[in-house]
Chain A
């Protein structure tokens, strides 16, 4: 438990690395979400592609997806893990050099990604577009982190591993497995390669990877952060120990099976589609176990939610987690997928998880960490609260627009008239109907991005304008 009496502080632990990861998160978050807004604009108004090859929607979309996943999300996950694991294990990281190598190696990798992908150097598999030399760098840097991570655990000064650490372990083990298996390929040149799998086998392995990138990068490590930072911010112990055991093991076991829900009604063998669907539906239970454990941790602390932006962000994040993990299993039912697959509904689902859960957890964690790491009071709580509302309205506008778009296009595509012919034989009729929804999403996304700018300003002002007060917020021990 994080609230055992402790005495160590920033001198004992390496907090520099967490600071660096936070700076990187803010920087990449702005960059990757700006590209998201640009993409949204291109769908509403195509000339925004500027007629430049590197900026067309097809080439830019993976810059956004990899940017938000591997730059924004991964950076705050790493930062949060370094901060919390040292305190939970009561020991400094095994090697500061490896931590620094991890940080700089990861950022260098990200720079190479945003340069190569717009140039058309891509493997095309979603969230695995990076060309093979970058894949090698990712593997090396991540394994360096893994080594540092496990050696630190080995050196720990407390015997029992707290639940946050379980989730981190599942993340550190699973990501390299997914990454290596999905990217096995034969190079044709320095920038091109061809996978060893073909056709539907390649598709299955890709979505085994893709779904579990969601599971083990956008979900489990962030649940780990939730188990550390939410009880700290609320100053309450975790609601149920037993629930955390059950939902942890069920989650890591079930997640892996669910990939085929991305391939329903494809040429994948029926049995595999059915297995994927069944396990996805079961996944609802452990997901909600996590949500309940998070929300119930706040029992008796709800008055703090009214005043503390950190808790506000976390409460909304956990609620969106519950919402998208309800929606996901529904979309895994074949007859629902028949309607939703290929439509904007999927993008709406993605962003209710991504903006609602991942983004808000990231913001909440950083608002908690920044004053403690830089030993200053937050520059403005009311600005943080404004960020909270901008972000919340932004997500809602984003997802509602795309539910509308998804249902509309799904229903139009399948409409058959009395003569047994397509009601809307011209695909462009569907495209045009979606335009207002695309503008709605653009407004929602822009609001969300504005919130990130507010946060960046608030952090800069905290670090540069605020003097170190005599009574600083206590860094966690």
Chain B
């Protein structure tokens, strides 16, 4: 044992030991990660449009509330999953996802096709206020504060600027016009809620969150979108 090569060559030389360790822990990561930048992450389909100002604000709320801790956004290519949720998830659909929100738990159902499964704003409004009113026996907590708290367009602009910096194609005009765009998209949702007798304002957090949920999973060709999801993830 005294003259074992390992003892002779490495154990007495801490610097060499540290360098060899660094090499050993670097190889796997480099081999797997570098091709994601050089080759890309899959089929070069047409890129979807980036999230609108209101959607990206809703996404920030989804992040803040930690929805990802209970809901995945990743439909796997299995028969039961396409029956339950719809078309399986494509890499290109995640193009503007910073951070990614695939999730690792399904305490609640997958939400990647939510925009196709449940496009109605009224449903989301009632569900966030009191989940059990729409899903009897659900274990999701109520999120009443989303009905009261307000979004701040200045925060949205800061978000868009940071995202534009790392490559999301927001133009200066998009960023400057964020508030007007949010009023417009939010206005449509507010009008739909008014039909159901619900009073809301475009800058309520619930409106932004609804816009994000309505967007989810809609970036696929129409025929694929219609194809599936008869089960409906209730």
Q: How far is the CA of A455 from the CA of B77 in the complex (A)?
A: 48
- A288 within 8 Å of B by Cβ? no
Instruction: Report yes or no: A120 in contact with B64, Cβ–Cβ below 8 A.
Output: yes
Contact residues of A between 78 and 121, Cβ < 8 Å to B: 120-121
Contact residues of B between 1 and 54, Cβ < 8 Å to A: 1, 4, 6-7, 11-12, 14, 17-18, 21-22, 24-29, 31-33, 35-37, 39, 41-42
Instruction: Report yes or no: B162 in contact with A186, Cβ–Cβ below 8 A.
Output: yes
- B194 within 8 Å of A by Cβ? no
Instruction: Report yes or no: A200 in contact with B234, Cβ–Cβ below 8 A.
Output: no
Shortest C-beta distance, B21 to chain A (Å), equals: 5
- A302 within 8 Å of B by Cβ? no
Instruction: Report yes or no: B101 in contact with A249, Cβ–Cβ below 8 A.
Output: no
Known: A272-B32, A428-B137. A203 touches B70 (CB 8 A): no
- A338 within 8 Å of B by Cβ? yes
Residue from A159, A170, A421 within 8 A of B83 (CB atoms): A421
Contact residues of B between 101 and 159, Cβ < 8 Å to A: 101-109, 135-145, 155, 158-159
Instruction: Report yes or no: A427 in contact with B89, Cβ–Cβ below 8 A.
Output: no
Q: How far is the CA of A159 from the CA of B11 in the complex (A)?
A: 8
Closest to A423 in B: B80
Instruction: Report yes or no: B83 in contact with A338, Cβ–Cβ below 8 A.
Output: no
Q: How far is the CA of A387 from the CA of B173 in the complex (A)?
A: 64
Interface size on A, residues (CB 8 A): 97
When distances are taken between beta carbons in the complex, the residues of chain B under 8 Å from A193 are 162
- B204 within 8 Å of A by Cβ? no
- B191 within 8 Å of A by Cβ? no
Known: A46-B140, A174-B25. A268 touches B109 (CB 8 A): no
Instruction: Report yes or no: A414 in contact with B80, Cβ–Cβ below 8 A.
Output: yes
Residue from B21, B141, B234 within 8 A of A425 (CB atoms): B234
Shortest C-beta distance, A329 to chain B (Å), equals: 16
Residue from B4, B21, B100, B137 within 8 A of A203 (CB atoms): B100
- B180 within 8 Å of A by Cβ? no
Instruction: Report yes or no: A425 in contact with B67, Cβ–Cβ below 8 A.
Output: no
Closest to A256 in B: B28
- A66 within 8 Å of B by Cβ? no
Chain A contact surface mostly: helix
- A194 within 8 Å of B by Cβ? yes
Closest to A204 in B: B36
Residue from A186, A200, A343 within 8 A of B166 (CB atoms): A186
Instruction: Report yes or no: B162 in contact with A187, Cβ–Cβ below 8 A.
Output: yes
Q: How far is the CA of A430 from the CA of B32 in the complex (A)?
A: 36
Closest to B74 in A: A266
Q: How far is the CA of A342 from the CA of B106 in the complex (A)?
A: 5
Residue from A169, A208, A341 within 8 A of B18 (CB atoms): A169
Instruction: Report yes or no: B104 in contact with A124, Cβ–Cβ below 8 A.
Output: no
When distances are taken between beta carbons in the complex, the residues of chain A under 8 Å from B95 are 198-199
Instruction: Report yes or no: A343 in contact with B106, Cβ–Cβ below 8 A.
Output: yes
Residue from B24, B37, B104 within 8 A of A342 (CB atoms): B104
Known: A124-B63, A245-B6, A421-B83. A199 touches B25 (CB 8 A): no
Instruction: Report yes or no: B100 in contact with A200, Cβ–Cβ below 8 A.
Output: yes
Closest to A267 in B: B91
Instruction: Report yes or no: B104 in contact with A126, Cβ–Cβ below 8 A.
Output: yes
Shortest C-beta distance, A49 to chain B (Å), equals: 4
Shortest C-beta distance, A276 to chain B (Å), equals: 7
Contact residues of A between 258 and 314, Cβ < 8 Å to B: 258-260, 262-263, 265-269, 272, 275-276, 279
Contact residues of B between 186 and 234, Cβ < 8 Å to A: 230-234
Known: A51-B141, A262-B104. A150 touches B18 (CB 8 A): yes
Closest to B30 in A: A256
Instruction: Report yes or no: B25 in contact with A203, Cβ–Cβ below 8 A.
Output: no
When distances are taken between beta carbons in the complex, the residues of chain A under 8 Å from B4 are 241-242, 245
Interface centre among A46, A259, A263 (most CB of B within 10 A): A46
- Stretch in contact with the other chain, from A27-35, A52-60, A355-363, A469-477: A52-60
- A154 within 8 Å of B by Cβ? yes
Residue from B28, B80, B102 within 8 A of A266 (CB atoms): B102
- B60 within 8 Å of A by Cβ? yes
Known: A160-B12, A173-B18, A265-B76. A199 touches B41 (CB 8 A): yes
When distances are taken between beta carbons in the complex, the residues of chain A under 8 Å from B93 are 267
Q: How far is the CA of A413 from the CA of B104 in the complex (A)?
A: 16
Instruction: Report yes or no: A51 in contact with B144, Cβ–Cβ below 8 A.
Output: yes
- A61 within 8 Å of B by Cβ? yes
Closest to A275 in B: B32
Shortest C-beta distance, A237 to chain B (Å), equals: 11
Instruction: Report yes or no: B89 in contact with A124, Cβ–Cβ below 8 A.
Output: no
Q: How far is the CA of A265 from the CA of B24 in the complex (A)?
A: 28
Shortest C-beta distance, A39 to chain B (Å), equals: 10
When distances are taken between beta carbons in the complex, the residues of chain B under 8 Å from A253 are 24-25, 27-28
Instruction: Report yes or no: B100 in contact with A206, Cβ–Cβ below 8 A.
Output: yes
Residue from A122, A265, A427 within 8 A of B109 (CB atoms): A427
Instruction: Report yes or no: A170 in contact with B25, Cβ–Cβ below 8 A.
Output: yes
- B181 within 8 Å of A by Cβ? no
Residue from A187, A267, A425, A427 within 8 A of B94 (CB atoms): A267
A-B contact pairs, 25 of them (CB 8 A): A56-B141, A57-B69, A120-B65, A124-B99, A150-B14, A161-B12, A173-B22, A194-B98, A194-B166, A195-B166, A199-B41, A206-B99, A208-B29, A253-B24, A253-B27, A255-B25, A256-B25, A256-B26, A256-B27, A267-B74, A268-B41, A342-B106, A416-B80, A427-B84, A431-B137
Interfacial residues, chain B to chain A (CB-CB below 8 A): 1, 4, 6-7, 11-12, 14, 17-18, 21-22, 24-29, 31-33, 35-37, 39, 41-42, 60, 63-70, 72, 74, 76-81, 83-84, 89-91, 93-109, 135-145, 155, 158-159, 161-163, 165-168, 230-234
